[in-house]
């Protein structure tokens, strides 16, 4: 039975974590069931490749299992897990960017073809444009944007997931939108 992890009681999570620490396979599978969709939504929003996103989901749970002993009772499990996923996704994108850069240098391909969407407005679909624009946001603004716009999370939920205040979420969201308007100005028909 699927259960939305945001609704899960903290004690339930801690109980499952304790079980995992004792080597309980079933408890681990339950945690995977509870969080896999949310992790996938984030990793896909970050990398936009189905297989890569799935690999990252698996990697995230492996990292979770390895680090489970460093999780302390009373700690925000959502934020703790999301930190793992964020780090993995950022590492992945960094490696990918590095590989792409190496291959471009070796193949001597023109960089214009892969330039930002605002430089070639007619070439991209809305989903492509929003993804590319979100990729240009600073990390925390990007996360707030993804959680709110792609996962429909409320400010309170985002605050819990990132372990920050609602005011900070509001501020980060405002800044993210401001920057998005600037990046997507040609597509939005507004001021550049």
Partner 1 sequence: MKACWRFKKDLVAYLSGNLDSSRSRQLDEHLKHCKSCEKELEEIKKIYDFSADFKAELKEVMETVEWGKLSADITERIWERKEGAQQRRALSWLYNWRWQPLTAGLILGLVLGALFTFVVIKFSQSSFPVAHQKSLESEIKVSADFMERMDFALARKETVDYLNRSQYLLLDLLQSKRPEEFSMDVIGNKIQQLLTEKKYLNNQLNDLRLLKAKAICDQIELLFLELSQLSPDLADKEFLKLRELIEKNQILLKINLVKKELQQGEV
Residues that bind partner 1 (CB under 8 A): 2, 25, 28-29, 32-33, 36-37, 40-41, 44-45, 50, 53-54, 57-58, 61-62, 65, 125-127, 129-131, 148-150, 152, 154-155, 170, 173-174, 177, 180-181, 184, 187-190
Residue number, 18 or 104, with CB nearest to partner 1: 18
Which residues lie closer than 8 Å to 2 by C-beta, 6 or more apart? 33
Q: In angstroms, give the least distance from the CB of 166 to partner 1.
A: 8
Q: In angstroms, give the least distance from the CB of 96 to partner 1.
A: 18
What distance in Å separates the CA atoms of residue 38 and residue 24, rounded to the nearest whole number? 23
Q: In angstroms, give the least distance from the CB of 2 to partner 1.
A: 8
Using CA atoms, how far residue 107 sits from 114, 133, 147, in Å, is 14, 26, 37
Q: In angstroms, give the least distance from the CB of 53 to partner 1.
A: 8
**Token couple for 51:** 């297989």
Residue number, 32 or 104, with CB nearest to partner 1: 32
Q: In angstroms, give the least distance from the CB of 130 to partner 1.
A: 4
Kindly report the number of other CB atoms within 10 A of residue 155's CB atom: 18
Residue number, 22 or 106, with CB nearest to partner 1: 22
Q: Is 23 left (phi over 0), alpha (psi -120 to 50) or beta?
A: left
Residue number, 45 or 78, with CB nearest to partner 1: 45
Residue number, 76 or 187, with CB nearest to partner 1: 187
SS3 9: coil
Pair 88, 56: CB distance under 8 Å: yes
SS3 4: coil
């Amino acid at each position: 039975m699927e259960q939305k992890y945001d609704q899960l009681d903290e004690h339930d999570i801690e109980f499952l974590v304790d079980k995992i620490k004792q080597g309980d396979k079933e408890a681990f599978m339950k945690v995977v069931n509870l969080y896999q969709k949310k992790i996938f939504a984030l990793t896909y929003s970050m990398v936009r490749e189905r297989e890569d996103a799935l690999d990252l989901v698996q990697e995230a749970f492996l990292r979770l299992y390895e680090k489970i002993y460093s999780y302390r009772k009373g700690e925000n499990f959502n934020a703790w897990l999301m930190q793992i996923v964020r780090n993995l996704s950022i590492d992945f994108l960094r490696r990918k960017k590095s590989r792409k850069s190496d291959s471009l240098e070796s193949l001597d391909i023109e960089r214009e073809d892969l330039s930002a969407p605002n430089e070639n407005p007619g070439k991209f679909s809305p989903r492509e444009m929003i993804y590319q624009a979100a990729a240009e946001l600073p990390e925390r603004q990007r996360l707030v944007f993804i959680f709110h716009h792609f996962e429909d999370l409320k400010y309170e939920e985002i605050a819990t997931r990132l372990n920050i205040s609602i005011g900070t979420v509001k501020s980060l969201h405002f800044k993210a939108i401001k920057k998005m308007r600037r990046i997507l100005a040609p597509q939005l028909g507004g001021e550049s």
